[in-house]
């Protein structure tokens, strides 16, 4: 389930005996240390008649990427306690873009020898998980990175969910007609 999304699962409790089962309260949620499982609802009543079933619904709304477990416990007075184990998997996606900042453009235009022109580019992560392995590099004669708030030059970095950073590129032609 995608971070921020909700998935509701419904399961049934069946009294397979030929006698009513007295519930000791309603089924209870055991979150397993996570707030990802919530909003337990049920139509179970006590006693649960012989051969009858009732339904339990649990919402799963992950807050991080990874596996999450929990449980629903049904306490009875005459049939012992039963636990249903809940499993969930939080997933997410980094949604990234690289675009010129403000009035900047990817066209450096005409730049005379012994002069230079710079443009700043914004790297944005509008996704719901961090973008990892972010690496800024540039190629081409006369181009260089003069500022990089995305991380340390020559190393990968992480840009958090909903965060951004900037990279400033300078063009200083090395010959007439280069670039």
Answer with the residue of higher pLDDT: 89 or 177.
89
**Which among 132, 115, 119, 129 has a CA at the least distance from the CA of 161?**
129
**In the prediction, which pLDDT does 104 show?**
65
**In the prediction, which pLDDT does 178 show?**
63
Burial class (CB in 10 A: 0-12, 13-18, 19+), 86: buried
- Side-chain-side CA neighbours of 146 within 13 Å: the count stands at 12
Taking the model in full, what pTM does it have?
Answer: 0.62
Q: Give the span between the Cα atoms of 113 and 179, in whole angstroms.
A: 11
pLDDT, tens digit (0-9, with 9 covering 90-100), for 152-173: 777 889 999 899 999 999 999 9
SS3 34: coil
pLDDT, tens digit (0-9, with 9 covering 90-100), for 4-60: 889 999 999 999 999 999 999 888 888 766 789 988 899 999 999 999 999 999 999
Return the DSSP state at 47: S
**In the prediction, which pLDDT does 179 show?**
63
Q: Give the span between the Cα atoms of 35 and 33, in whole angstroms.
A: 7
């Amino acid at each position: 389930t995608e971070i921020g999304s909700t998935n509701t699962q419904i399961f049934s409790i069946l009294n397979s005996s030929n006698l009513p089962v007295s519930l000791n309260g309603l089924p209870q949620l055991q979150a397993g240390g996570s707030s990802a499982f919530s909003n337990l609802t049920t139509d179970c009543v006590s006693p649960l008649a012989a051969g009858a079933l009732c339904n339990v619904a649990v919402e799963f709304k992950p807050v991080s990427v990874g596996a999450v477990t929990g449980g629903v416990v049904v306490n009875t007075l005459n049939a012992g306690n039963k636990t249903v184990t809940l499993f969930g998997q939080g997933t997410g996606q980094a949604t990234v873009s690289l675009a010129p900042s403000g009035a900047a453009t990817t066209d450096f235009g005409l730049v005379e020898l012994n002069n230079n022109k710079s443009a700043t580019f914004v790297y944005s992560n509008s996704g719901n998980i961090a973008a990892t392995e972010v690496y800024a590099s540039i190629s081409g004669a006369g181009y260089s990175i003069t500022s990089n708030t995305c991380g340390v030059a020559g190393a990968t970095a992480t840009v958090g969910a909903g965060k951004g950073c900037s990279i400033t590129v300078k063009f200083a032609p090395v010959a007439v007609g280069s670039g």
